Structure 1
Amino acid sequence: MHDDLDAVPTLAEFLEVIAIAIPGTSDKFEGTSSHPVFTAKLTNGHDYQGQTSRVWDLNDATFAAADSLNALIIESVTAAHGRTVTLTDIAVALLQLLRRQDRLLADIAGADVSSISAQVNSGPSPAR
C-alpha cells in the first residue's frame, strides 16, 4: 500500500483493503455473500474513526498482497484449530498483527487498538 499511496496507510485503509480481499466460501473459510466491514476499538475506549479513504487509488498488486495475507490467516487458523475459519478469526489475527507492528499505520500505533470486529454489510461487495 505504501508504494501506491506514497504514504503509509491509515488503519481504516488497511482494514478496508483486507475486507475487499476477503475470499468466497471454501472448505476452509465460511465466506460471506455480502461485503464485510472491519471496525476497531481503541485502548482509550473510543471507536476508531478513519479519515477519507484512498483505497480506490490503489493498484491490483495491493489487493493481491491482501489476498495473500487473508490466505495465510485462513491456512494458519485451519492448521491450528482444524475448523472452518470465520470473519471473527480474521479480525483476531489482524489485531495480533497490528499489535506487533507499531509503525505499520500512519494514524495510530498498533498497540493503541484494543479490538477489531467484523460485520457484514447487506449490500453487494464492491468491485475491484
Structure 2
Amino acid sequence: MTASIRTVGDCLRVPYLVTAQSQPLPDGTWVRHVEHPELPDCTAQAESITEALSLLDHRRIEVVLTMLAGGERPPAQRAPIGDQQARHRVRRAGLTDRVSQLWNRDADSLAATDWPV
C-alpha cells in the first residue's frame, strides 16, 4: 500500500477500472456484465447497467474487505477519491452498519474475525 493508504477507509476510497458489456443469455434475454478487472472475483450482472453497477460497488467493498481480512493488500494504482463520496458509496451499497466500525482501522490490522469471508 502506498503511504497515503493506511486505513480500511483509505482502501475503500481507491477507484478501480470498470469494464462493462451486454451479454445474451440462453433464453434470448440480455444482461449487463460489469467487473473490476484489477480485483479478484469482482463481477456483477443485472438486467440494467445501473443495477449491475450498484451490485458491482457492493461486491467491490466485500472483495476489498475480504482481501484485507485475509492479510492481502488490494491494489492501489490510483489516488483515493474523497471521503464523503466513498462513505456515500458504502451507504448506497447497504453496508454502513458492517463497515462503519472498520473505517478508521489500520488496514494491515484487519483480521478474518473482523470481516466475514
Larger Rg belongs to: 2
Aligning the two structures, in what range does the TM-score lie when normalised by the shorter sequence? 0.3 to 0.5
The structure with the largest helix share of the pair is 1
